[in-house]
Structure 1
Amino acid sequence: MRVNSIGLDAGQSKQLGEQLNILLANFQVYYMNLRGIHWNIKGKRFFDLHAKFEELYDDANLKVDMVAERVLTLGEVPLHTFEDYIKVSKVPQGKNISQDEKAIRLIVDSLKELLRIEREILHASDEAKDEGTNSMMSDFITQQEKTVWMMKAWLAEEI
C-alpha cells in the first residue's frame, strides 16, 4: 500500500478526491441556485426569505471552500470551471424562480442530492480511515438534515 503525505492510502485518497470533486460541483450549482432565488424572490415573505437565502448561500460558499481545500489536502486538484460543474452536477438547476414555495422546494431537492453524495463519501472515507473527510461529511450531513427539516416545516410537509 502506497501512503500519501498525510498517512492515508494514496489510491483511496485519489478516489475520495474524485468523489469530493463531484460534491464540489454540486455545491457550486446549489450556491448559484441560492444566489438566484435570493435575488429574484418576490411576495409577502420577501424580507424573511431574502435574508434566509443569503444565510444559506454564505454557508454554501464556506462549504465550497472547505471541500476544495480537502480535495487539495488529499493530493488532487479541485474542479474550478462551470463547464466541469455542469458535467457532473445532479443538483437541479433553478432558473428565474421568484415564488417562495418553488424556491424552498428547490432548496429541499438540492439538499437531498447533496446529502446522498455526502453519505457516499462518508462511507468511503470511513473505509479509508480518513477522519478529516469523515468529520467534514458528518458535520455537513447534520447541518443539512436540520435545514431540510426546517424547510419541510415551512412547507407544512412531513419529513
Structure 2
Amino acid sequence: MENLNQIGLEQADSKQVAEKLNELLANYHIYYQNLRGFHWNIKGVHFFQLHAKFEELYNSALAKIDAIAERILTIGQKPLSSFSDYMRVSSIQEANGLSGDKETVSATHANLTTIISLEREILSMAAETGDEGTVGLISEDINENEKTLWMLNAFLS
C-alpha cells in the first residue's frame, strides 16, 4: 500500500505519467498564448472568421490547461506553474509577428499536431499503468483535437 498514491495507483507510474502531463501542460500554455496572439493580430479577408475561431480555440485550451494541471495533482504530483518552465519544457515555440490567415492557421495546425502526438504517448503510457482517469481525459481531448485538425486542414486546402 505504501507504493500507491492517494487514488490507488502506483506512485512510480504516476510520476512518469505526470512528467508527460507536465510536458503537455507546457505545450498547451504556449499553444494558448500563440492563439491569443493570433486572435489579437489577425488581418485580412478572413479576419472575422478567424478572430472568432482563435478565441474559441484559446478558451478551449484554457479549460484543458486547468484539467491537465488538476489531473497532475489528482495523481499526487505537482504541475509546472511558471512560464519559464513552460518555455523550457515545451516543444511548441512562441509564434511572434504572425497576422496572415494561412500563416496563423498553419502555425495552429503545427502546434496541434505536436499536442496530439504527445497526447498519444500519454494515452499509451496511462493505459499501460491502469490510469483510467488520465486515459479518459486524454482520449476525449484527442478526439476534439483531431476534429479541429481536420477543420484546419480543410481551411488550408
Pair in the same fold by TM > 0.5 = yes
1:79-127 deviations in Å (ceiling 9; x for gaps): 0111100101001321011000000001110011001110010001001
Q: How does 1:141-156 map to 2 (within 5 A)?
A: 141-156=142-157
Q: Which residue of 1 aligns with 2:126?
A: 125
The root-mean-square deviation of aligned C-alpha atoms, in Å, is 0.8
Q: Does 1:112 align with 2:110?
A: no
Distance 1:146 1:34 in 2: 17
Q: Which residue of 2 aligns with 1:75?
A: 76
SS in structure 2 opposite 1:42?
coil
Write the letter of the residue equivalent to 2:111: S
Moved over 3 A (4+): none
Relative to structure 2, which stretch is displaced further, 87-96 or 68-77?
A: 87-96
Contact 1:92–1:106 (CA under 8 A) maintained in structure 2: no
Q: How does 1:57-72 map to 2 (within 5 A)?
A: 57-72=58-73
Contact 1:92–1:109 (CA under 8 A) maintained in structure 2: no
Q: Which residue of 2 aligns with 1:95?
A: 96
Q: Which residue of 2 aligns with 1:19?
A: 20
Distance 1:7 1:132 in 2: 12
SS in structure 1 opposite 2:94?
coil
Contact 1:41–1:100 (CA under 8 A) maintained in structure 2: yes
Normalised by the length of structure 2, the TM-score is: 0.97
Write the letter of the residue equivalent to 2:109: V
Report the count of equivalent residues.
156
Write the letter of the residue equivalent to 2:63: L
Q: Percent identity?
A: 49
**Post-superposition shift, 1:44?**
1.2
Normalised by the length of structure 1, the TM-score is: 0.96
**Post-superposition shift, 1:130?**
0.5
Any unmatched runs of 5+ in structure 2? none
Distance 1:133 1:59 in 2: 18
Distance 2:94 2:142 in 1: 21
Any unmatched runs of 5+ in structure 1? none
